[in-house]
Every structure is written in C-alpha cells, then in structure tokens.
Amino acid sequence: MVLHEVLLACNESSHRLFWEACAIVCDATLKMKLTRWLALICIALLLVYGASPYFSFWRFTAAIRSRDTGAINSHVDFRAVCASLKKQLVARFARATSGHKRWSRLGPTLIDAIVDVYATPDGIAALLANPGALKNLQTPQQFCFTTGKNANWSKVKYAFFTGPRTFLVEREGIKLQFRFTGLGWRLNDIELGLSHPQR
C-alpha cells in the first residue's frame, strides 16, 4: 500500500511538472510571438512615417497644380510662411534702402503688402510657379503680382528629412520646409534664396 501511494505521488508530481513545463514553454513561445508582432508593427509604423512626407508633398503639388484652395490651405501653415517671407524681404531691402528717409515709413508697408499677396493659396501657387517675381525684384515699389503658369515639379533637386519632424524639398533654388504637426505635414517655410538687390 505504501508503495502504491509513493507511485501515485510520483505520478502526480511528474504530471504536475510536465504541465508546468508545458505552460512555461507556451508562455515563452507566446512572448516571442508577441515580441515579433510588436517589432513588425513598429517597423511598419516607421516605414509609413518615413513615406508620409513624400506622399504629403505629392498631395501638396497636386493641390498647387489644380489650384485647389481648400487642399492648399490644409497643407500650408500661412502664419509661419508669412513670417518667413517677411523676414527674407526685410533682410533683402533693409540694407539697400536704409539711407532713404521715406523707406522707414513706406518700406515696411510695401513689404507687408507683398507678403499679404503671397500668403494666400493663390499666392503660394503663383510664387512657386514664378519665384523670379520676388527673386528678381530690385525694390518693393517695382512689385507686380503675376499668377504665372503651373510649377514644373519634375525639377525637384532633392527631398529628405532634416530632423524627426522636418522635411526639406529643394526645387530650382527654392527650399520648401515641411513640418509634422498633429494635422500631418504642412509647409511652414519657403526659403527663396534672396540675395541683396544689385545697384
């Protein structure tokens, strides 16, 4: 009888050990599968994030080509673009016109008027189609707004990340900087490469 009880106890403990070992193996396999899935999801998210500015830029160019003001509005941070254009124009004309008395009163008003014209969906489309309108401007008084033809987007020199949340596109000497916000990628800076006007 004692032997029988010992055998039963050994049998029960071996069954318990067997099931515990199976549970440990299943738990380890489940953790490995979960880790693999999490790694795959992270890689997929990184790939989508890496491709997203290119897709957003393509949608932006489609909006510019079709002159879709609603779509352009959704892809442009006009407040930031306005500040950037104003800063570039002030830097371009401040030194050349600093000796004129009227410039101190009239100049900022003219620059504000120029920036206001381009800080609209139609203005952005016109500026990208004809950047020479501002690049070749000798004085703010000579400004004349032209809508121009559609921009040739096949002349993009490069497009790449400059930071985790910034993306830069260069086309014909113009640098378009996009920034990732909660609403997606939005144009927040247009660097025209303005030099000082020639005398």
Q: Which residues of 130-164 are buried (b: 16+ CB within 10 A; e: fewer)?
A: bbebbeebeebeebeeeeeeebebeeeeeeeeeee
Report whether 53 contacts 167 (CB < 8 A): yes
Q: How confident is the model at residue 78 (pLDDT cuts 50, 70, 90)?
A: very high
CA-nearest of 147, 106, 111 to 127 is 147
Report whether 72 contacts 64 (CB < 8 A): yes
What is the number of alpha carbons within 13 Å of residue 169 lying toward its C-beta?
Answer: 23
- Phi-psi region for residue 189, left (φ > 0), alpha (ψ -120 to 50) or beta? beta
pLDDT of residue 182: 82
Residue 26 CA to residue 36 CA, distance in Å, equals 15
Note the pLDDT tens digit of each residue in 137-176: 666 555 665 666 666 777 788 888 999 999 999 988 889 9
Residue 128 CA to residue 59 CA, distance in Å, equals 15
Structure tokens given for 125: 């489309």
Is the pLDDT at 104 greater than 60, yes or no?
Answer: no
Residue 43 CA to residue 196 CA, distance in Å, equals 47
Q: Which residues of 79-99 are buried (b: 16+ CB within 10 A; e: fewer)?
A: ebbbebbbebbeebbeeebee
| More confident site: 194 or 43 | 43
Mean pLDDT of 35-57: 91
Q: Who's near 29: CB < 8 A, 6+ residues apart?
A: none
Mean pLDDT of 84-106: 68
Question: Distance of CA 47 to CAs 33, 40, 44, 55, 117, Å?
Answer: 21, 11, 5, 12, 38
pLDDT of residue 186: 94
Q: Where are the chain's structural domains?
A: 51-191
| More confident site: 95 or 194 | 194
